Amino acid sequence: MQNEFYSYTYQMQRYLAAQDNRIAQLESAIQDLLKEMEELKNRRAVNVEKIEYKFDQLKVETLDGTLNIGLNPNDLGQLDEFTVNGASPGGPYLFPERDIMIKEISSTIHENMDEMIAESERNSGNRLDPSYQEFIKSDVARQLQQRIEMYLNDTSHAERTSGRHDSLKEKTIEKIKTDIRLAIDNFIAYSHKQKGEKKSNGI
């Protein structure tokens, strides 16, 4: 009977020792996981903190500073000094139907925004996140009137006649659509590049 008791006690000791060892292993594994989680939290992620889209100057704020794609900011400051066919327009082009034309051009651009974004997506083979699509449309709307006025004011003296207003409107629409397409193309290319860098870095 006494031998059975000693045998039982010995087995219990071995069982408890095995459990202690298992608990120690689990605690060690948990500590390793916590350490890895902390390292992941502290790792400097390669990401875009802020993307500010501009169809006249695609500007992307990154961790490394500002990257300008498209027109140089210095060029934007010289827009009032542009000459057309070698002749300076000589100031704003004001005419009775100007406000109506601006509204019509603006309306046409807004109606074509979805198709322009879709066209750039098809050409690049990449789709933009819906939130980026809405952001682009919102930012274009914010800048559109100023852009239209800039092109109207760049009209040459030869084109500043009422008989050429329809032609002027169509030319302005095409110029602005070209600007928007180029900026969206640049935006998609940059976004795709950023995603590729994240994947290569395992993020």
Least confident of 4-13, 73-82, 179-188: 73-82
3-class state of residue 93 by DSSP: coil
Indicate whether 114 and 150 sit together in one domain: yes
- The pTM (predicted TM-score) of the whole model is 0.57
pLDDT of 25 above 70 = yes
Higher pLDDT, 189 or 167: 167
Indicate whether 64 and 30 sit together in one domain: no
Indicate whether 160 and 175 sit together in one domain: yes
Q: What is the mean pLDDT of the chain?
A: 74
Q: Domain count of the chain?
A: 2
The pLDDT confidence band at residue 199, using thresholds 50, 70 and 90, is low
Indicate whether 72 and 139 sit together in one domain: yes
For residue 154 the two structure tokens come to 């760049």
Q: Structural domain of residue 104, as residue ranges?
A: 50-200
Indicate whether 98 and 34 sit together in one domain: no
The pLDDT confidence band at residue 70, using thresholds 50, 70 and 90, is very low
Indicate whether 58 and 123 sit together in one domain: yes
Q: Are 54 and 139 in contact (CB under 8 A)?
A: yes
pLDDT at residue 116 in the model: 94
**What backbone phi and psi angles, to 5 degrees, belong to 64?**
-95, 5
DSSP 157: G
pLDDT in tens, 121-143: 999 998 888 888 888 888 888 88
Indicate whether 169 and 101 sit together in one domain: yes
Indicate whether 7 and 78 sit together in one domain: no
The percent of residues above 70 in pLDDT, for the chain, comes to: 64
Indicate whether 65 and 31 sit together in one domain: no
As a whole number, mean pLDDT of residues 150-177 equals 91
Sheet holding 57-62, edge to edge: 50-52, 57-62, 65-70
Indicate whether 37 and 61 sit together in one domain: no
Indicate whether 31 and 101 sit together in one domain: no
Q: Where is the domain boundary, 43, 62, 77? A: 43
Indicate whether 91 and 9 sit together in one domain: no
As a whole number, mean pLDDT of residues 76-93 equals 48
Q: How far apart are CA 148 and CA 172, in angstroms?
A: 7
